[in-house]
Amino acid sequence: MLIQRDLIQSLQGFLRRREYIAIVGPRQAGKTTFLEIIQEYLFKNLKVNKDQIQTITFEDRRLLAQFDADPLSFVRSYLPVKPFKTFYLMIDEFQYSQEGGQKLKLIYDTVKNLKIIITGSSSLDIKAQVGRYLVGRILTFNIYPFNFGEFLRAKDSRLERIYQERNKPIIKWLFENKPLGIKDGGDVFSEEMVKRFEEFSIWGGYPAVVLSKTIYERKKVLNDIYNNYILKDIKGLLELATEKNLFLLSQYLATQIGNILIYQNLGQVSHLDYRQTRRHLNILNETFICTEVKPFFKNRQKELSKNPKIFFYDMGFRNNLMENMNSLDKRSDSGAVIENAVFIRLNELCQSVNKINFWRTKAGAEVDFVLHISGESIPVEVKYSQFDKGKIPRSFMSFIETFKPSRGVILTKNYWGKIIIGKTKILFIPVYYL
């Protein structure tokens, strides 16, 4: 059974368009399976015949060699003699093609009634090979490991329905400022939701991990993901250092989630100079391991650091690097784990890490995240604790008083509530419904 991915909703309007599509994400995030989901959608919703769709992979080196040698003849070999309707050619692991973007441009400009959908494990490869040749001719979508809603879809359909009922109006309120009526108080489903959310925050959302039946299987899959990442995704990118340097760097970064990065410390731990450190950080970002979140500035004299914070794209990957898969109640980093889990969701919702900052001042005020939505700066604070009534943290209040946003969010463990300060609506929302 295919686990439906939320990304299909974003793609629906583009499957009839002329532009090619690139699906980019980390290895084992579900790109290959997502091609099956697209295929199913084409069958059922767009009434595309099966003989109008072909899926191949460039992990088949024979097919890769044929494509690289003569791309036009290669794609035409799949087309009907008189293609009156659009033919869909899906190419998995496209990053293995040499000068693949140039070849795709040639195909795009030459072959009519053809829609190509590619996948790739590195946005570096896709940008370098495809983006520069196909400006305006290709649309890129990121696919990540399962979000919490998809995790529930695979684990517990009842809780997934409850999640969807509560999540959809929250998203409309946050991104479109639609009315959201809530009553102050606890969440009747908190015990069940917290249990699942904490499981998700420890083990992450890689589909093979989520679907594993035992802890041993989960650990084995996570180890394999890391090993395949090293062997297949970045082998050709490590020009300045070794796999050992990258491992030391990524392992240290795993201890720093939610903290402000000190580049000197990174270099000392990984035995890399500043230029090499920056390059390796870029590799980790472009291959969807971790990324930097920059500080929010309006007054540079009062606001503190230019240095970013670091967050991982999947908590299972991060916790496995730490060799710590313990439950939250047995961890010293539980606050950082939940904060990183929130970042993962916000990044998916915002569709760009550039729309997310944190705020910190010289006076010590700090807000976990600041989202840039429709020209507004919306503060989001993570307070993963039991609430009996709404309490606004001092730093959060400082942000409200300084910037006067129309709305703000405090994410709790179990509490729903609303407080209005001036013209700012502040919602208290259980973190698992985001």
Residuewise pLDDT in 10s, the chain (434 residues): 789 999 999 999 999 999 999 999 988 999 999 999 999 999 999 999 999 999 999 999 999 999 999 999 999 999 987 767 899 999 999 988 888 889 999 999 999 999 999 998 766 666 666 767 888 899 999 999 999 999 999 999 999 999 999 999 999 999 999 999 888 899 999 999 999 999 999 999 999 999 999 999 999 999 999 888 876 767 666 665 577 888 889 999 999 999 999 988 998 998 888 888 888 888 888 889 999 999 997 765 555 558 899 999 999 999 999 999 999 999 999 999 999 999 999 999 998 767 999 999 888 889 999 999 989 999 999 999 888 888 899 999 999 999 999 999 999 999 999 999 999 999 999 999 99
pLDDT of residue 82: 74
Asked if CATH classification 3.40.50.300 holds for the domain at 7-142, the reply, yes or no, is yes
Spans of all domains in the chain:
7-142, 148-433
pLDDT of residue 127: 65
pLDDT of residue 304: 53
The pTM assigned to this predicted structure is 0.93
Give dist(CA 126, CA 102) in Å, integer. Answer: 12
pLDDT of residue 229: 80
pLDDT of residue 27: 86
pLDDT of residue 90: 98
pLDDT of residue 237: 63
pLDDT of residue 358: 95
